[in-house]
Amino acid sequence: MSNVCSKCGKQFTSSRSSQKVCPECLNAEFADALQMEETEVAAIRERQAAAARRQHARMAKLLESYKNGTMFNMTGKIMFCVGLFVLFFGNLIFFLDGKSLIYWGVDGMDVAGKQAISVSLSAVGAMLLLFSTRRFKFAMLIFSIVILVLGWFAPVLWMPSKGVSLLADKENALTVEASETGVEVPITQEELAVFYELKEKMPRRRHYAVFMDNQDPAVRSMVRDALTRLLDAEYTRAYTRTNGILYVVANASLPQQQATSIVERLGDIIKSDISQGLYLVRFDRDKTNMVSKYSAEVLSSPMNAAFVTANISELQCLDSMRIRVAARSLKNADVQMLRGEIRDALVKTLGDAWTQDQDTYVALIDALVTYAPRKDKEAVAICDKYFTSRYESMRDVLPSVADYLIKEQPEKMVEPVIAYWLSNSVAWSQQLRTLSWRVQPKLLEIMQEKASIKDLNMILRYLQSNGNADAIPVVKTLMDHPDSIIRYSARMTLQALEKQEAQNHNGGGEPAETADENK
């Protein structure tokens, strides 16, 4: 029977139809096998023996685990213990109620974020428990699924229950110790309903509820505005309640830990729940500095002995209008006494959120640069933050702040000052001249980047009176500019620069031509 060899493709005759390799190819294969060295054969046999030993070891280990009936081996015990610890830690952080450093990392998060942390830790613990045993896989799988479900509901089950019961009992009104006037301050669950409705409506936002035992209309207006500003909130609404006012702060930006220090400025915190943003406060007029202790004459007259002390006291109140007036008074007076105390009071006040009151913020910054000493890193950081925020949107900046930052960090101010100067050369020419030689490299770089006709003309005119010889090569490139005004400005600038270079070459005296004639 004629067959075709699968190796060489030749036809050969064989009595068996299943033979696919010709005799020549078979002889070649066996010849190679006979030529194999004994060391290679020994190595192959050694690998086979090692693989067999590993298989026997695995089989013995499995038999031992099933024969003695143990649920965990040593590695499984370690995995089981670590898994339990991860599960315990993942749920423990939701029981701490803001009393531990561990809790501070999650107190400002919404429910979804806390659930993500809890589920992640529960998933790690569940995987460790699942792979800790070989015999009870199904039971451990069920237990792991239960753990994952518990991790999802842990923040919802533990934290809100504590928060509601702390400030508002479901059955009885919460009554604190009587105040100095003998009036008790109750707050019930029904009276807090408007706050809980807001949290349910916008659960991913941060909200606060402050109940205060004062119904004075002036206090109500001042506290409402102060909470909105200090907590950087969207709005604050005041609701009249039994013997007090409930302030509901919506969409606040300030974290809960920082919010507590803000609420403490209203008075004594009787009870609070940081995780829920609930505070019960006894109003204190001294802490809020509700009524000014000084007359208008003292606050406005630098010749008065109590002028500085009075205005420092005004900076510590909650009324932004009074703070703005005090800052402007100190700025205009520029007194030489107690400058360090004034600087400290201004820095402390600027630590508050002033997003919603830019007028007061600007007045405080203007006063700070007046009293801040040289190399004051904290004052420089505050002024730089103000300047950067204005520069990013190219809004007007206080000239005093720009001058102060130019003195403190001139290299960093080169690019912003040039940008402002190009947009308003009249207002920023003094600052540009103050930076002197530092601005020329940046101006030359702008000229080479195909600046507009207006910018080129401004830069050339500046270089005529303030440039040096380093600008000559760049100015020469503009001699063939398509615009005639630029060509004329470049020619005049080049003449001025060459004249100055000649004067410098002759020691600052007469030009080179005049010097040659005198010889």
What are 405-441's pLDDT values in tens digits?
A: 999 999 999 999 999 999 998 999 999 999 989 999 9
Q: How confident is the model at residue 400 (pLDDT cuts 50, 70, 90)?
A: very high
pLDDT digits (tens, 9 = 90+) for 299-357: 999 998 899 999 999 998 988 999 999 999 999 999 999 999 999 999 999 998 888 88
pLDDT higher than threshold 90 for residue 443? yes
Kindly report the average pLDDT of the chain as a whole number. 80
pLDDT of residue 103: 44
Coil vs helix vs strand at 281: strand
For residue 513, what pLDDT is reported?
39
Q: Which residues of 312-345 are buried (b: 16+ CB within 10 A; e: fewer)?
A: bbbbbbbbbebbbbbbbbbbebeeeeebeebbeb
3-state secondary structure 195-230: HHHHHHHCCCCCCEEEEECCCCHHHHHHHHHHHHHH
Q: What is the structure's pLDDT at 92?
A: 57
- Where residue 13 falls among pLDDT bands split at 50, 70, 90? confident
Check residue 440 and give its pLDDT.
Answer: 93
Q: Facing residues of 278 across strands?
A: 209, 273
Nearest-angstrom CA–CA distance, 82 and 78? 6
DSSP, res 301: -
Confidence band, pLDDT 50/70/90 cuts, at residue 69:
low
CA proximity to 266, closest of 308, 311, 208: 208
Residue 84's identity, in one-letter code, is: L
- Return the pLDDT at 237: 93
177 Cβ contact partners less than 8 Å away, ≥ 6 residues apart? 270
Determine contact, residues 286/180, Cβ cutoff 8 Å: no
- Contact between 437 and 430 under an 8 Å Cβ cutoff? The reply is no
Comparing 243 with 236, which gets the higher pLDDT? 236
Tokens 């809100």 sit at which residue?
A: 160
Amino acid at 285: R
- Per-residue pLDDT band at 170 (split at 50, 70, 90): very low
Read off the amino acid at residue 413.
M
Question: Is the pLDDT score of 184 beyond 80?
Answer: no
**Which helix or strand (DSSP H or E) is residue 52 part of?**
helix 38-67
Point out the least confidently predicted range of 28-37, 55-64, 139-148, 373-382.
28-37
With residue 477 as reference, give the H or E element that holds it: none
Residue pair 337/312 in contact by the 8 Å Cβ criterion:
no
Please tell me which residue, 266 or 21, carries the higher pLDDT value. 266
The lowest-confidence range among 4-13, 43-52, 57-66 is 57-66
The mean per-residue pLDDT over the stretch 17-43 comes to 72
Give the Cβ contact number of residue 220 at 10 Å: 16
Q: CA angle, 366 as apex, 360 and 367 as ends, to 5°?
A: 90
Per-residue confidence band for 34, with pLDDT thresholds at 50, 70 and 90: low
Comparison of pLDDT for 112 and 381, the residue scoring more: 381
- C-alpha angle 397-401-402 in degrees, rounded to nearest 5: 75
Query: Which ranges constitute the DSSP H helices of 280-338?
Result: 285-288, 296-300, 307-315, 320-333
The helix or strand, by DSSP H or E, that contains position 4, with its residue range, turns out to be strand 2-4
444-503: pLDDT as tens digits: 999 988 778 999 999 999 999 899 989 999 999 999 889 999 999 999 999 999 988 888
Binned at pLDDT 50, 70 and 90, residue 111 comes out as low
Three-state DSSP class for residue 429: helix
Kindly state the DSSP code that residue 335 receives in the 8-state scheme: -
Using a 10 angstrom Cβ sphere, with 0-12 exposed, 13-18 middle and 19 or more buried, the burial of residue 182 is exposed
Which residues on neighbouring strands pair with residue 240, listed in sequence order? Answer: 245
Contact 250, 234 (CB under 8 A): yes
Quick check: 242 pLDDT over 80? no
Best CA proximity match to 417, nearest among 365, 468, 478, 462: 462
pLDDT band at 180 (very low <50, low <70, confident <90, very high): very low
**Tokens of residue 44, six digits:** 């192959």
Alpha carbons 245 and 164: distance in angstroms, whole number: 19
- Two tokens at 381? 């950081």
What is the share, in percent, of the chain residues with pLDDT greater than 90? 35
* 151 pLDDT more than 50: yes
Give the tokens for residue 129: 């428990």
Classified as helix, coil or strand, 1 is coil
Is the model's pTM score more than 0.85? no
The pLDDT assigned to 173 comes to 36
Mean pLDDT value of segment 272-285 = 85
Give the helix/strand (H/E) hosting 272: strand 267-273
217 contact partners, CB below 8 Å, separation of at least 6: none
What does the radius of gyration of the chain's CA atoms come to, in whole angstroms? 41
Average pLDDT over residues 365-381: 94
